[in-house]
């Protein structure tokens, strides 16, 4: 150890034991001697470590100026402070050139988070704009917190590693799931990881096998229109720290424990935890945005910068392939390392089971923003042994028009199938020309994925997601109604492929309500029975509504929260979805994950029909599809009638060693007769399918026959 002098910002100095420390690991790490700090900054001229007694302090308790001769190795600044412990609040300040035309935006006044910090403390007076204005922001800035990850008792917990073929995903928002008083959780636990734990029995009963959590990385809630707050969380300030406002405790280290308690509890219920992760941009925004961390440490490394076309100056503007003001430079060596370290951290230390990558196509762009055939960061993720057993799901497009569905990089990745969403919506709505595309989507989109001979689970099938209408609103609104977002209803998608069934918004007419519920059951039936991996959205099973808002990213209120009174109001639909999920999970081996799509279809023998057996109607004016899936033990016959009149369909003759056809599903029938073990059909060779209805029939091989 060597003696160094650290300035006490409150007026004095004191001696403490400070040594050079080490470059690895990055971030703050507990050692037997104290805490080691390491941060990357290639171009800064000086680095300060700030230690705070409290996150709300107007100035640091100690300011330690790092000596570049002793505390810098190559581009890494590092030191070890004896006696520091977990819970220490800290931050950095970096000085260097302010030359935007060359990409440098150093500001010695700004307090900077640790890019590798595992816990974040948010001051009561946090102010996003203070990070963008000239001058210091010490009191109002987020700070990092030293964490000791070794003390948590996982009690033998490990990730579940369930195959995709047996997976049913429930996309949900941690806060929105229990924030409403109707959730019935303890008041102090509403909208938290702890509150989610209280509702695990509901998820278990519903039958989903994985929750996909909207972003839980620490984010900036103030990045929203005036008077509103960011609810979705797609604006991270840290890639390692769980969002502290989702915890029932004010202690930053308690946030870590509460998140891990949630993961452990979900695993005990045999439910996997997937995280919606945002590695395409940060909350620092464009050149007018605040400095929280990355801008102030090494702006040209962390972001893709581009030429100012007006002035001819270079690197003073941010590429915006994310649509959020900036684009993370994912294929820069420093950023690649950070992303990979982040993913490993969430798997090894937090035990999550997988990830859904927001705007994943951004990660295929090089440091100049051009698409690459073999992106280094995607290769890193694809081949990393720590990630080899995790679920990797790509949203295979970005905001600048790069669309890679069916052609996303590598073999490990699965993809959100946006074409499934659009074609199924259009078919059920009754649009012309979608009978053929509906058939392809039901068979895991062989026209999109067949050229690579991928398994059916390559396609993540969904009809709704957080982005867009809820299922209820999809059948209740023709137009978006985003006025509450204070953006003049200009935000959100204009093309929703929705139909209000005759009345815009809530309806008193019982026939319209009956039609809407039937359409919802039709959408669920197709989504949950199609080949591929089904994903559903929180509350669709009880008709959660956002009042026609299809971009509720800034609605942290009853618009987005789950109203649990709907569970009683729509008990019939909830029952239908629960039994449909149970039926899906009991399907035979056509979902064997070892089989390619071609092998699955070949093994099962799929026959397509129209109203007449073996005579499918693919004409543009056709609105119905029927198919039979035949195995040695079971035949399933499915009929999808999106026409507005009843149609009499022929039903196939079954082998002598099979029992009679039994109705499993008829979405036209009222609950509880719409789904469940049915009696044998009275008429064996015909079935009249009512307008806008789905029917599923089963016939099983007789034992010993």
In a domain, 705, yes or no: no
Cite the DSSP H helix spans in 349-462.
Answer: 376-383, 418-429, 435-442, 446-449
User: Residue 551 domain-assigned?
Assistant: yes
What local confidence, expressed as pLDDT, does residue 590 receive? 45
Extract the runs of DSSP E, i.e. beta strands, from 143-236: 143-145, 169-172, 210-213
Please check whether residue 156 lies inside any domain of the structure.
no
Query: DSSP secondary-structure letter at 680?
Result: B
Compute CA distances 1 → 18, 34, 62, 67, 211, whole Å: 7, 12, 19, 15, 48
DSSP string, 446-483: HHHHGGGT--GGGEEE-S--SSS--HHHHTT-SS---G
- Looking at the structure, tell me whether residues 78 and 190 fall in a common domain: no
Q: Which pLDDT band holds residue 455 (cuts at 50, 70, 90)?
A: confident
Nearest to 684 by CA among 641, 635, 618: 635
Distance, in Å, from the CA atom of 158 to the CA atom of 348, rounded to the nearest integer, reads 9
Distance between CA atoms of residues 563 and 583, nearest Å: 27
Enclosing H/E stretch for 263: helix 252-268
pLDDT band for position 678 (cuts 50, 70, 90): confident
Annotated catalytic residue, options 171, 212, 395, 540: 395
Tallying the residues shown for the chain, one arrives at 705
Looking at the structure, tell me whether residues 258 and 121 fall in a common domain.
Answer: no
Residue 358 bears catalytic tag: yes
Residue 310 lies in a domain: no
| 509, two tokens | 């007419």
| pLDDT one-digit tens code per residue, 75-117 | 999 999 999 999 999 999 999 999 999 999 999 999 999 999 9
CA distance 208 to 274: 13
Residues 572 and 601 in one domain: no
If asked whether residues 100 and 190 sit together in one domain, one would say no
Question: With bands split at pLDDT 50, 70 and 90, how would you rate the model's confidence at 9?
Answer: very low
Q: Are residues 216 and 107 in the same domain?
A: no
- In angstroms, the CA 92 to CA 429 distance is 55
Nearest Cα residue to 290 out of 114, 457, 128: 128
Mean pLDDT in residue range 152-156: 97
Tens of pLDDT along 196-240? 999 999 999 999 999 999 999 999 999 999 999 999 999 999 999
Q: How confident is the model at residue 679 (pLDDT cuts 50, 70, 90)?
A: low
Q: What average pLDDT does the segment 632-649 reach?
A: 95
Angle at 369 between CA 364 and CA 373, to 5 degrees: 35
| 473 and 429 co-located in one domain | yes
CATH code of the domain covering residue 598: 2.60.40.1180
Helix (H/G/I), strand (E/B), else coil: 188: helix
What CA–CA distance (Å, rounded) separates 482 from 566? 23
| Percentage of residues in the chain having pLDDT higher than 90 | 87
Residue 626's φ and ψ, nearest 5 degrees, are: -135, 145
Instruction: Please report the pLDDT score of residue 92 as a whole number.
Output: 98
Q: Would you say residue 337 lies in a domain?
A: yes
Q: Which of 151, 89, 150 minimizes the C-alpha distance to 120?
A: 89
Residue 526 lies in a domain: no
- Report how far Cα 198 is from the mean position of its chain's Cα atoms: 21
Q: Quick check: is 101 catalytic?
A: no
Last residue of a domain, one of 118, 145, 172: 145
Instruction: Write out the residue range of the structural domain in which residue 677 sits.
Output: 591-700
Neighbours of 135 (CB within 10 A): 8
pLDDT tier, 639 (very low <50, low <70, confident <90, very high otherwise)? very high
- The set of residues, in sequence order, having a beta carbon less than 8 Å from that of 73 and lying 6+ positions away, is 23
Per-residue pLDDT tens over the stretch 433-444: 999 999 999 999
The mean predicted confidence, pLDDT, of the chain is: 93
Axis-axis angle for helices 510-529, 435-442 (nearest 10): 50
Q: What DSSP assignment string belongs to 151-167?
A: S---TT-------GGG-
Whether residue 660 is found in the same domain as residue 571: no
Share of the chain above pLDDT 70, in %: 94
- Gap between the Cα atoms of 108 and 138, Å rounded: 11
Whether 356 and 486 share a structural domain: yes
pLDDT in tens, 369-415: 899 989 999 999 999 999 999 999 999 999 999 999 988 988 899 99
CATH number at residue 37: 2.60.40.10
| Better pLDDT: 450 or 254 | 254
Residue 615 corresponds to which tokens in the numbers above? 């005579």
pLDDT tens figures, 245-284: 999 999 999 999 999 999 999 999 999 999 999 999 999 9
Point out the domain boundary residue: 145, 174, 194. Answer: 145
Q: Does position 54 have pLDDT exceeding 90, yes or no? A: yes
* Radius of gyration in angstroms for the set of CA atoms belonging to the chain, rounded to a whole number: 28
Number of domains in the chain: 3
- Answer yes or no: is 299 within a domain: no
Please report, to the nearest 10 degrees, the dihedral formed by the alpha carbons of residues 232, 238, 244, 245 taken in order: -30
Q: How far apart are CA 87 and CA 119, in angstroms?
A: 9
What per-residue confidence (pLDDT) applies to 511? 97
Handedness of CA 185, 186, 192, 193 (dihedral sign): negative
Q: Is the peptide bond before 25 cis (omega within 30 degrees of 0)?
A: yes
pLDDT value of position 677: 80
pLDDT at 16: 61
Closest CA to 413 of 436, 441, 392: 392
CA distance 136 to 685: 79
Residues 116 and 11 in one domain: yes
pTM passes above 0.85: yes
- What average pLDDT score do residues 690-696 get? 98
Confidence of residue 458 (pLDDT cuts 50, 70, 90): very high
Could you tell me where the DSSP H helices lie in 570-615? Answer: 571-585, 597-604
Mean pLDDT for the stretch of residues 164-178: 97
Token representation of residue 582 = 């149970």
Q: Which residue has the higher pLDDT, 593 or 623?
A: 623
- Whether 306 maps to a domain, the answer reads no
Residue 195 has pLDDT above 90, yes or no: yes
Instruction: Identify the band that residue 1 occupies on the pLDDT scale cut at 50, 70 and 90.
Output: very low
pLDDT mean over 413-439: 97
Quick check: 589 pLDDT over 80?
no
Q: What angle do CA 7, 13, 15 make, to 5 degrees?
A: 95
CB-count burial class (<10 Å; 0-12, 13-18, 19+) for 645: exposed
Count other C-beta atoms under 10 Å from residue 43's C-beta. 18
Strand locations in 60-163 (E): 62-65, 72-73, 76-82, 89-95, 98-99, 104-105, 120-121, 143-145
- From the candidates 220, 276, 284, 358, give the one annotated as an active-site residue: 358
Instruction: Kindly state whether residues 609 and 541 are assigned to the same domain.
Output: no
Pick from 630, 633, 632, 647: which is nearest to 694 by CA?
Answer: 647
The secondary structure element, H or E, covering residue 255 is: helix 252-268
Question: Binning pLDDT at 50, 70 and 90, where does residue 307 land?
Answer: confident
> Do 414 and 463 belong to one domain?
yes
pLDDT tops 70 at residue 42: yes
Of the listed ranges 26-40, 592-606, 645-659, 666-680, the least confidently predicted one is 592-606
Confidence tier at 33 by pLDDT (50, 70, 90): very high
* Spatial distance between the Cα atoms of 506 and 513, rounded to a whole number of angstroms: 9
Split at pLDDT 50, 70, 90, the class of 456 is confident
How far apart CA 340 and CA 345 sit, in angstroms, is 8
Instruction: Please give the Cα distance from 415 to 206 (Å, whole number).
Output: 24
Do residues 570 and 628 share a domain?
A: no
Tokens representing residue 438 in the block: 């509906």
The predicted structure's pLDDT at residue 453: 76
| pLDDT confidence band for 359 (50 / 70 / 90) | very high
CATH code: domain of residue 193: 3.20.20.80
């Amino acid at each position: 150890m060597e003696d160094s002098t650290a300035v006490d910002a409150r007026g004095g100095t004191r001696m403490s034991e400070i040594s050079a420390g080490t470059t690895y690991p990055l971030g703050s790490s507990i050692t037997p001697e104290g805490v080691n700090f390491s941060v990357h900054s290639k171009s800064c001229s000086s680095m300060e470590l700030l230690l705070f007694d409290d996150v709300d302090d107007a100035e640091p308790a100690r300011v330690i100026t790092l000596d570049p001769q002793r505390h810098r190795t190559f581009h890494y600044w590092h030191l070890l402070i004896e006696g520091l412990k977990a819970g220490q609040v800290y931050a950095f300040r970096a000085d260097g050139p302010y030359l935007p035309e060359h990409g440098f935006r150093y500001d010695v006044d700004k307090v900077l988070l640790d890019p590798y910090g595992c816990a974040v403390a948010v001051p009561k007076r946090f102010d996003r704009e203070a990070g963008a204005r000239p001058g210091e922001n010490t009191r109002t800035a987020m700070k990092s917190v030293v964490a000791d990850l070794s003390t948590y008792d996982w009690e033998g917990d490990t990730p579940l590693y369930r195959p995709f073929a047996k997976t049913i995903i429930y996309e949900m928002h941690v806060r929105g799931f229990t924030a409403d008083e109707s959730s019935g959780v303890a008041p102090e636990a509403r909208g938290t990881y702890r509150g989610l734990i209280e509702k695990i029995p509901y998820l278990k009963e519903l039958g989903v096998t994985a929750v996909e959590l909207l972003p839980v990385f620490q984010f900036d809630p103030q990045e929203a229109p005036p008077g509103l707050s960011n609810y979705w969380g797609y604006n991270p300030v840290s890639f390692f720290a769980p969002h502290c406002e989702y915890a029932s405790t004010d202690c930053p280290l308690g946030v870590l424990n509460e998140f891990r308690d949630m993961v452990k509890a979900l695993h005990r219920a045999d439910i996997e935890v997937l995280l919606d992760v945002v590695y395409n941009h940060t909350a620092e925004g464009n050149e007018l945005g605040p400095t929280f961390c990355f801008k102030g440490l090494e702006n040209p490394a962390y972001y893709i910068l581009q030429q100012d076309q007006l002035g001819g100056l270079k690197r003073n503007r941010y590429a915006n392939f994310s649509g959020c003001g900036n684009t993370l430079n994912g294929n820069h060596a420093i950023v690649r390392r950070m992303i990979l370290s982040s993913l490993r951290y969430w798997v090894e230390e937090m035990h999550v089971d997988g990830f859904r990558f927001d705007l994943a196509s951004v990660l295929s762009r090089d440091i100049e923003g051009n698409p690459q055939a073999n992106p280094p960061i995607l290769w890193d993720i694809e081949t990393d042994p720590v990630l080899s057993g995790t679920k990797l799901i790509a949203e295979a497009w970005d905001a600048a028009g790069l669309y890679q569905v069916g052609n996303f990089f590598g073999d490990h990745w699965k993809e959100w199938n946006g074409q499934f969403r659009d074609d199924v919506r259009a078919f059920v709505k009754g649009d012309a020309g979608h009978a053929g595309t509906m058939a392809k989507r039901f068979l895991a989109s062989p026209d999109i994925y067949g050229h690579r001979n991928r398994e059916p689970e390559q396609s993540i099938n969904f009809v709704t997601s957080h982005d867009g209408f809820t299922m209820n609103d999809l059948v209740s609104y023709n137009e978006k109604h985003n006025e509450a977002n204070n953006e003049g209803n200009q935000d959100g998608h204009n093309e929703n492929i929705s139909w209000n069934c005759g009345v815009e918004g809530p309806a008193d007419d019982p026939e319209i309500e009956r039609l809407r519920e039937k359409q919802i059951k039709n959408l669920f039936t197709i989504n949950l029975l199609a080949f591929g991996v089904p994903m559903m959205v929180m509350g669709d099973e009880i008709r959660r509504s956002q009042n026609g808002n299809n971009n509720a990213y800034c609605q942290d209120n009853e618009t987005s929260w789950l109203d649990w009174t709907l569970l009683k109001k729509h008990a019939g639909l909830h029952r239908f979805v629960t039994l449909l999920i149970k039926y899906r999970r009991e399907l035979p081996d056509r979902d064997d994950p070892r089989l390619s799509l071609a092998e699955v279809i070949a093994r099962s023998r799929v026959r397509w029909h129209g109203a007449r057996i073996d005579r499918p109607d693919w004409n543009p004016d056709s609105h119905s599809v029927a198919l039979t899936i035949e195995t040695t033990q079971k035949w399933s016959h499915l009929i999808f009638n999106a026409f507005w009149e009843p149609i009499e369909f022929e039903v196939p003759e079954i082998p002598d060693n099979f029992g009679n056809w039994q109705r499993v599903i008829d979405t036209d029938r009222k609950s509880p007769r719409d789904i469940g073990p049915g009696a044998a059909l009275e008429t064996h060779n015909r079935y009249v399918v009512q307008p806008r209805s789905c029917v599923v029939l089963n016939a099983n091989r007789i034992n010993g026959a």
